[in-house]
A and B are shown apart, each in its own frame.
Chain A
Amino acid sequence: MSSDGGTRRIETGYLARVEGEGAMHVRVRGEEVLDVELRIFEPPRLFEALLRGRALGEAPDITARICGICPVAYQTSACQAMEDALGIEVEGQLRTLRRLIYCGEWIQSHSLHLYMLHAPDFLGYESGFAMARDHREVVERGLRAKKTGNRLIEAIGGRAVHPVNVRVGGFYRAPERRELEPLWAELERCRDEALETVRLVAGLDFPELERDYELVALRSPLEGEYPIDRGRIVSSKGIDVAPAEFDATFEEQHVAHSTALHARVRGRGAYLAGPLARFSLNFDRLSPLAAAAAREAGIGEGCRNPFRSIIVRAVEILYAFDEALRLLDAYQRPDAPAVEFEPRAAVGHGVSEAPRGLLYHRYEIDDAGQIVSAWIVPPTSQNQRSIEDDLREFVAANLALPDEELRYRCEQTIRNYDPCISCSTHFLRLEVERE
């Protein structure tokens, strides 16, 4: 921490690993918070340029590189956008596989966040490893869940990091049923443990912060189908549109302090995507087991406290294990691993529920099957405005804290959103400027 006239700065160092540089700047005059700015780097912009002129079949693998934590989300949204453009439908067992591999991603991504990042915040540890010394069983359970999610991705996708078996129209090769069956016992064990985790996190202490977000998530027309791989885009303020209407419903704006774009509902403003939104808009689509666990955990049928997102993630992990077992039980290897297609000039839209929220892709392709333009809207850019709003409210209520403490609590507020390594930010720096 350094002192320079009226401005105090707190800096954290640089970590080479992290793909997004970010910084947070807070400006305060007396007891008033003048401004909260979050600056993040967004790799999708780079990728949109990279995609132009490439073959349409390359989009899933190229965009999977945007994020090491949620490559399946990028692959799925890319595939579905291309399939929309090509006029083909991927149904039946191929869709089962697509949903199964996506369950694996939810499990591994949510588990990493819940056990290693978020739980330590509530239990008073600086990190997952510090927590491991006192809560070894819980951390081991998290590692087991994540590993099982990875195994599921590997069994269908060929490997866990950047799966190689996904293609437009389906898969390069559909696994035999017997190849997936060895996962059964571990999935069942992890489902039982996931239920324990819902109970564990339900007992944590949460700051009171109820926010009046406009919640935005996908919703499936089918009973008993919680949104993962596809659906219509709905909101708590009445939006109900097909993926093709994303552009007509939302807009991205440049903001002065960031190279990132902020998304908003046209004519309205900030909105919230991700676990809280999915859960609150789709409680009736959870499996009986997951719904009962949520009720028992006290979040009822809706949740607007961002700190309680840890409970929602625990419920979604439970659901993902439950759903994977249901899908696996009914799986039969399809006759063909993919739906074949002929290129045509068209525009296609694809949207799926990445662990952190809506992930929208739009592509224009020409009649030779080359990408003319690409537009990708990741969940974190959709949530950035809401994160800033949360922070503004939080900082205003906690101005009396010393800078170091305030920094930690702000980071915790941001961690509620699980900003992923690649598609959002690493906190380089927090500046609190007191005028």
Chain B
Amino acid sequence: MSGERRLFIGIGNPLRGDDAAGLLAARALRVRGTDGVEVRELEGEPVDLIEAWEGAEAVVVADAVASGGEPGEVHRIDAAAGPLPAALAGPSTHALGLAEAVELGRALGRLPRRLVVYGIEGARFEAGAEPGEAVREAAERVAAAALGDLWGDP
């Protein structure tokens, strides 16, 4: 149904090199044409994420990951089906992130019916660094694929 809210969320920090991957994907989607999809950029704080996707029918979230793969490698996870793989979620002692948002949303019955997570493998996360070329290209690919996830058949 066209009246249903479809949302793309890019997560990242613009000042930490490849950590901007999700934001780059959000910007790539805007340039490409959002096709009726709402695009938001967030910092990954889980309560804000849960609030953002409230009431949305289908949601795609793009974020940087560092699981040891090649820079620019893209992982696609159906988060509505189960938890994010531990290798991508990363254990965290105090900083909550996307994996926590997904599980908190699941525990509270506040997950969108369709939720796809794209993890873009990054290599450099130093303060003040620029995102690498491989990550920029991956962000473009994610933006293109996201429209299929948001509008295609489940």
Contact = CB atoms under 8 A, between A and B. Distances in A.
A426 B95 contact: yes
A333 interface: no
A415 B94 CA distance: 7
B43 interface: yes
Contact of A133 (B47, B107, B122): B107
Nearest to B18: A16
A411 B94 contact: yes
A139 B14 CA distance: 30
A15 B67 CA distance: 9
Interface stretch (A124-132, A301-309, A380-388): A124-132
A419 B94 contact: yes
Q: Top 8 nearest A-B pairs by Cβ distance? A: A68-B43, A15-B90, A129-B104, A132-B107, A129-B103, A16-B64, A427-B93, A17-B97
A81 interface: no
Interface stretch (A142-150, A240-248, A289-297, A318-326): A142-150
A426 B95 CA distance: 7
Interface in A99-143: 112, 116-117, 127-130, 132-133, 136, 139-140, 142-143
Interface string A1-34: 0000000000011111111000000000000000
B48 to A, nearest CB: 7
A148 to B, nearest CB: 11
Given A116-B46, A150-B48, A129 B100 contact: yes
Given A18-B92, A414-B94, A426-B92, A132 B45 contact: no
A249 to B, nearest CB: 29
A161 B43 contact: yes
A15 B13 contact: no
Interface in B1-23: 11, 13-16, 18-19
Contacts of A46: 15, 127-128
Contacts of A218: none
B145 interface: no
Contacts of A133: 107
Contacts of B95: 15, 17-18, 421, 426
Given A112-B45, A161-B43, A414-B94, A17 B107 contact: no
Contact of A128 (B15, B42, B100, B125): B100
21 contacts: A12-B93, A15-B92, A16-B18, A16-B63, A17-B13, A17-B43, A17-B63, A19-B16, A112-B47, A116-B46, A117-B96, A128-B96, A128-B104, A133-B107, A147-B51, A150-B48, A161-B43, A411-B94, A414-B94, A415-B93, A426-B93
